[in-house]
Structure 1
Amino acid sequence: MKITQFYPLPAALLLLAPGVQAENAPATLVVSAAPAPSGLSELETPAAVSVIGGDDMRRAAPQINLSESLGAVPGLQLLNRQNYAQDLQLSVRGFGSRSTYGVRGVRMYVDGIPATMPDGQGQTSNIDINSIDHVEVLRGPFSALYGNASGGVVNVETETGSQPTRVQASSYYGSYGTWRYGLKATGAVGDGTQPGDVNYAVSTTRFTTHGYRDHSSAQKNLANAKLGVRIDDLSTLTLIFNSVDIDANDPGGLTGDQWRSNPRQVASNVTLYNARKTVKQTQAGLRYQRAMNENNDLSVMVYAGERETVQYQSIPRAVQLASAQHPGGVIDLTRHYQGIDTRWTHRNQLAGIPLTLTGGLDYETMTEQRKGYQNFTSASDLGNKGALRRDERNLMWNVDPYLQTAWQLSDKLSLDAGVRFSTVNFDSNDRYITALNGDDSGNARYHKWLPAAALKYAATDAWNLYASAGRGFETPTINELSYRAGGINGLNVALQPATSDSVEIGSKTRIGNGLFSAALFQTETKNEIVVDQSSGGRSSYKNAGETRRRGIELALDQQFAYDWRLRMAWTLLDATYQSNACGDESCRGNRIPGIARNMLYAAFGYQPDSGWYAGTDLRYMSNIAADDDNSAKAPAYTLVGLNSGYKWVQENWTLDLFGRVDNLFDRDYVGSVIVNESNGRYFEPAPGRNYGVGLSVSYAFQ
């Protein structure tokens, strides 16, 4: 029996995790860093996959936002909103671009624990870059096998401790009063092969900033820990802990004229009502893995967490008093979530053909206490919690059985096929009932079969061709269901889930010490969920009939002469409404707002293991429509960044000192847009030329 390294990936995509590998088993679909200890690589995966290593993400970087380092992933649009009250704006092939808060339409995991709730809403705020081992981004039809919110998948794996024990302190100081400092310790007792061997990794980070814009200061504390134990020769147990605490002001958006006259300003209501948000989240998980015998593996992941959010919005007092059904200008949420994912993998032969069969059950549930208050106590006391205007208990759960097979049809041809049956349930109990505000309780349930299949042909040992197809499923999130147009309370039960059919063909070629990949894709969506109205930080949603996304993705990661590296990514994405986005046919053919048609990233650097290093990066983003009419657009822009540093290695000590400059040519540009903002404040400005310096010091106990 041959034991290969087990990558603890989310179990929903069934073949994305190798376990015990029989000698005659087919090559499983694996998303792993290349080169991985087990010899697995992106080349073998019949899907659009990109992997970014943690060391690459930390090299000469602030280590504050994922947007710093994931530009090399084609199809991924990751924008820094300069607003830590609203998180990054992340979309994959256009899915998630409409989100005004957090991550929408993309499934996210951190160490196997979903960072996406059962309703499909997720966040990046609990990801500690200081402790990341690698990030995997899956695009295309196979992401459907992750269930709800499957426009794409972002999977974050943190470091696993190993010998020798190492401690590290790091810091970064940048423009606009930006500070980040962190501590990390990793190590192991034993080499992980004997019963009783233990590994550990602990990291903590604190971040503060005055913010580029007025009223955009923020502070965030992060902690991440992972403890692994080998129970016996065939099984391991891993304990995972994560915590985040955020306190951030919310600068909101600007009109085009406001942005051009003074991009650092905020609308008057923002300061008048002191728009802001606090978030506290703590979660823990336990993963058990066992090789039952030569042909069977078992994996069980259980987790639970709590997230508390209080948000003060800039909704005017007069608007709240105009209707007895208005839910107020303060959102107070407490969410408890938990889940279990059990997976069994079997390897054998059928009619002489090597076969891997994987089946499992994924269950997630979340209970939410949602309250709304007025953001004033009187006409002269604004920005403080006032009278109760909303009180409800929302329950969300999903249960998804899944099954997938991998067939090695010949030495060159393999087939992967699977299906997931997804059930998502929403139940809302209204506790705020008055003479003018009736009972708005309601419920909704959605079901969908999610099939996916891929055929891969190995033209040579270094060149693979593949074709894949799949169906995706995206329900309304509880935030999208929570508000009806006109500021009315109660679930927006008229919203229907969006269903997407995707096809893709691709090529991956190993060129020397690099990999070149290309993908051509098309996705057609029915009942696309889009922003109906957005004002004062609150949005309501509607279904927009049919949409179509089609495009090309190219990526190159090439190493030259050992120490020189070039990374490039280009995306051409045509995302348009096919019907009924504006209530009539006037928007047919219009671009879906929030999506750039062209994206280009290029980075070139000299990266030796020690001594001087330097690099530069270029980012191009074409214009982005901000509304369904396409009457307002954020202009295209090109940014250039430079970095240089010195890495000193002496016996057990490592010191890394660097400096960097971003937006070298001081371009004025809009970093992101708020889709369909009803007051025309679509634009969230980004900073001009800015600077930073960083230092890390580590010691290995050898």
Structure 2
Amino acid sequence: MSGGIDGFIVRAMAVGGMIGLAGGVHAQEADVAVPLPPVVVEQTAAPTPAKPTKKKTAKSKAKQAQPAAAPSPAFAPESGLSGSPANRAGSLTVPDTAEAIAEIQRIPGAVTIVPDTQFRNTPANTVKDAIGWVPGVIVQQKWGPDARLSIRGSGLTRNYGNRGINAYMDGVPINTSDGLFDLFEVDPSAYRYVEVFKGANALRYGSNSLGGAINFVTPTGYDADAFGVRVDVGSFGFIKSTINGGGVSGPVDYFINLSGYREDGYRQHSRQEMVRLNANLGYRLSANAETRFYINANTWDGQLPGEVSKAAALNSPKAAHPEWLRQNQQRNIDSIRVANKTTVRLDGTTLEFGAFTHQRRVDHPIYEYVDYNVSDYGGFLRATDDRLIGGFRNRLIVGAGILDGTTDYYQHANLTGGVKGAMTTSQLWKAKNHSAYAENSFYVQPDVALIAGIQFSHAVRDQRDRLGVNSGSSTYDNWSPKVGVLWDVDPNWQVFGNISRSAEVPTFDANAFNIKAQTATTYEIGTRGRRSDFIWDVSLYRAEIDDELQCLTIVMPWFTAPCALTNADKTVHQGIEAGFGLAVLQSTFDFDDSVWLNVSYTYNDFFFDGDAVWGNNNLPGVAPHNLRAEVLYRHTSGFYAGPNVEWVGGNFYADNANTLKIDPFALLNFRVGFEQEKGWSAYVDGRNLLDKHYIATTITAGNATPNMELFNPGTGRAVYSGVQYRW
């Protein structure tokens, strides 16, 4: 690993060359379109396939889908988003998938829409099922629904919980007010699509973190199935059942999705039980206005098997940590989120505003018995104006948001068996997050936009220790500008670049009031597009970070501190995010099938930059190479089958000192199924078919020793299957 930009450029050229070779297949002219296989790099509807050499019959032509809409040119109307709302047949508050794709492609940076067609014929239970194929997104599964989620190295050393990414459901924050978020609330069976905004490309939501934002969007009554039911079963006692439905009656529409799941778990003491409800109710106030109410309620009871040594993780991966067993460590959470969003669409201007509250009850026996309640609330206001100024198109977005909350936090001694003992900690945490932002896109040419934006954020972290031990308060004010350019080379090809500033405020659970905010300047270039039998999405970035937040584990014979928060000095995160889909064969067995090669590759080069203690060492926690690749046969009847591999390549480390390595690994998977828009669908999904023993994720330390218990073993051979009916 070399530490400078020159070294990164050399590595980028090498990887870029490989991608270029892979994409060098000549795209033949086409006249019809078939649905693209589930490739996350897809940014628009399916491309047209290569023209077959044999003459099609009338029957085979009838099976083909209609030609898909290409990416919108720079001055295309907003698919009804601001032009003629009275003529819209769908929801005013929630864009459908096609509208969301057209909207997100106006951003001059790495962004992705993942439609539900990518993940609905899977177990659809964890965030990895939904966005695991997005280049640049790293999901390291621990157990059950728990995982480390990172984009561009965000929250890289966060050992428990996730930070560094702003997570939303239907545009409403699900992060706690101090910045953490739980993945268990994410139920992929409930969403119409998922939006991924990397880095400062999430300014549209006022997000200002290194990792960006992810927005999970549920259907409305306008695009929901009238009725749906599904059952999924699998290895290690996995079973999940889901029922949903929606519809429209006059000015009212509704959607509801209820799911329940349980599993015994691959590892000892990892049983999980969960129920998740997602519902919304919309009311059309007029042709130009709509309001929508949301409710998301969840309950999770989960056992925790705990981290173990590297040797134990590889040689006895099913075993739990003995001390975690003795203490009966668990994580049990009840949560409910209630929100409202109202949209008013006028000629050229869209106004959105809303309010929300999110309540959580956490019962969490670990090394001590953690017991707390979280009460968060807030609101948002956003206006989008799109009009001609002096003959040039101009698009202005301005907005503001508030996310405040309190946490009533207690710790008790954890007696044998998870019994609550004497109180050891009693604290009241108060967090405030107020932001205002603006972004303007000025089209100097119909196909070239210059973008400038800025955000101001004001945050307060206040901790009151009722035992008089550890109280304090900190205020963080940050300005974060952004400039960029977006060029529509043609209706199916975009080139973009931007320079942005980001800031991230510490979380509460590590005495945040005496820690600096993390700031970064990120440089990014990239391209996305499609041809008749090839789609691509490639980004290169470099983030130069000051005061990176690190959450380091300290292990002593009598005590383990799971997160001692500190600031690194200067660090660099740089990398490549590349995905493509290539039709390698057309009309293989008959006129209506194809074979696709789907690839998602992420290159991570994260390191200290002349640190006084760690020098130019690699940052711990993530491998340099992450690849997912699939060869998939797909027939227009709905049948598909094919193998795929997941490769985590290159040694990486569990500590800043780079003394304890995690080995690379590769997993072989295979999936087969039948899927259609309405009626019956079914699948069988085999994972880690060679039963590879590997390290799935690690918590991190400053200096690690070979026997430190930092590791979570990956899941062994597993098979999942499911059947669903959509009407």
Q: Does 1:654 align with 2:674?
A: no
Contact 2:174–2:358, Cα closer than 8 Å, also in 1: no
- Counterparts of 1:141 and 1:181, CA distance in 2: 37
Offset of 1:609 from its aligned partner? 5.3
Q: Which of 663, 669, 672 matches 1:641?
A: 669
Q: Does residue 462 of the first structure (1) align with residue 462 of the second (2)? A: no
Structure 2 residue corresponding to 1:248, chosen from 302, 307, 324:
302
What CA distance in whole angstroms lies between the structure 2 residues aligned with 1:83 and 1:614? 26
What secondary structure is seen at the aligned counterpart in 1 of 2:153?
coil
The structure with more helix, counted as a fraction of residues? 2
1:459 and 1:257, CA in 2 relative to 1: closer, same or farther beyond 3 A?
A: same
Task: Summarize deviations over 1:493-524 as a string: whole Å, max 9, x none.
Answer: 33111101001111123211552121111000
Pairs within 5 Å for 1:375-454 = 375-376=414-415, 381-432=416-467, 438-454=468-484
Q: Does 1:116 align with 2:172?
A: no
Distance 1:34 1:409, change over 3 A: farther
Residue ranges of structure 2 left out of the alignment (5+ in a row): 1-77, 86-93, 587-591
Q: Which residue of 1 aligns with 2:575?
A: 551
Residue of structure 1 in register with 2:652 after alignment = 624
Q: Give 2:338's match in structure 1, choosing from 284, 289, 298.
A: 284
Instruction: Tell me: CA distance 1:35–1:373, structure 2 relative to 1, closer, same or farther (3 Å).
Output: closer
SS class of match (2:644): strand
Q: In the alignment, residue 573 of structure 2 is paired with which amino acid?
A: R
What is the alpha-carbon distance in structure 2 between the residues aligned to residue 397 and residue 626 of structure 1?
33
Matched pairs, number:
627
Corresponding residue for residue 485 of structure 1: none
Alpha-carbon offset, residue 134 of structure 1: 0.8
Question: C-alpha distance in 1, partners of 2:479/2:593?
Answer: 48
Q: CA shift at 1:70, angstroms?
A: 2.2
**For residue 345 of structure 1, what is the aligned residue in structure 2?**
384
Contact persistence 2:238–2:264 (CA under 8 A) = yes
Among 290, 304, 307, which residue is 2:357 paired with? 304
> C-alpha displacement at 1:570, in angstroms?
1.1
1:71 aligns to 2:132 (yes or no): yes
Give the 3 Å change call, closer, same or farther, for CA 689–382 of structure 1 in structure 2. Answer: closer
Would the alpha carbon gap of residues 142 and 42 (structure 1) be closer, same or farther in structure 2, given more than 3 Å must change? Answer: closer
2:8 maps to: none
Q: CA deviation at 1:563?
A: 4.8
- Match of 1:211, SS state, is coil
In the alignment, what sits opposite 1:489?
A: none
1:590 lines up with 2:644 in the alignment: no
Q: 1:141/1:165 Cα in 2 relative to 1: closer, same or farther (>3 Å)? A: closer
For residue 720 of structure 2, what is the aligned residue in structure 1?
Answer: 692
Q: Residues of 1 paired with 2:605 and 2:418: CA distance?
A: 42
The yes-or-no answer on 1:80 pairing with 2:141 is yes
Matching of residue 603 in structure 1 with residue 623 in structure 2: no
What residue is the counterpart of 1:11 in the other structure? none
Structure 2 counterpart SS, 1:176: coil
Residues 14-40 of structure 1: CA distance to partner in whole angstroms, max 9, x if unpaired? xx99841499xxxxxxxx999715872
Go from structure 1 to structure 2 and tell me whether the alpha carbon gap of 1:129 and 1:44 turns closer, same or farther (over 3 Å shift).
same
Aligned partners of 2:485 and 2:496 also within 8 Å:
yes
Q: Is the 8 A contact 1:141 1:504 kept in 2?
A: no
CA distance in 2, matches of 1:141, 1:499: 12
Q: Summarize deviations over 1:172-197 as a string: whole Å, max 9, x none.
A: 111111111111112222xxxxxx42
2:261 pairs with 1:207:
yes
Letter aligned with residue 630 of structure 2: A
Could you say what secondary structure the match of 1:567 adopts? strand
Matched, 1:188 2:248: yes
Q: Is the 8 A contact 2:329 2:364 kept in 1?
A: yes
CA contact (8 A) 1:142 1:453 kept: no
TM-score by length of 2: 0.82
Contact 1:287–1:300 (CA under 8 A) maintained in structure 2: yes
Is 1:499 the counterpart of 2:519 in the alignment?
A: yes
The 2-side partners of 1:239 and 1:41 are apart by: 23
CA distance in 1, matches of 2:546, 2:653: 21
State the distance in 1 between where 2:79 and 2:173 align.
16
CA distance in 1, matches of 2:436, 2:100: 29
Secondary structure of 1:270's counterpart equals helix
What amino acid is aligned across from residue 222 of structure 1 in structure 2? R
Query: 2:550 maps to what in 1?
Result: 530
Please, which moves more after superposition, 684-693 or 65-74?
A: 65-74
| SS at 1:258 equivalent | helix
* Structure 2 match to 1:672: 697
Q: Separation in 1 of the partners of 2:235 and 2:545?
A: 42
Match of 2:289 among 228, 235, 247: 235
* Offset at residue 114 of structure 1 (A): 0.7
Partner of 1:471: 501
Q: Which residue of 2 aligns with 1:577?
A: 608
Q: 1:44 to 1:462 in 2, by over 3 A?
A: farther
5+ residue gaps, structure 1, are 1-15, 24-31, 190-195, 316-328, 433-437, 482-491
Equivalent position of 2:536 in the other structure: 516
Q: Give, in whole Å, the separation in 2 of the partners of 1:501 and 1:663.
A: 39
Asked if 1 retains the 8 angstrom alpha-carbon contact of 2:152 and 2:210, the reply is no
Q: Contact conserved, 1:524 with 1:546, CA < 8 A, in 2? A: yes
Distance of aligned partners of 1:139 and 1:339 in 2 relative to their CA distance in 1, 3 Å threshold: same
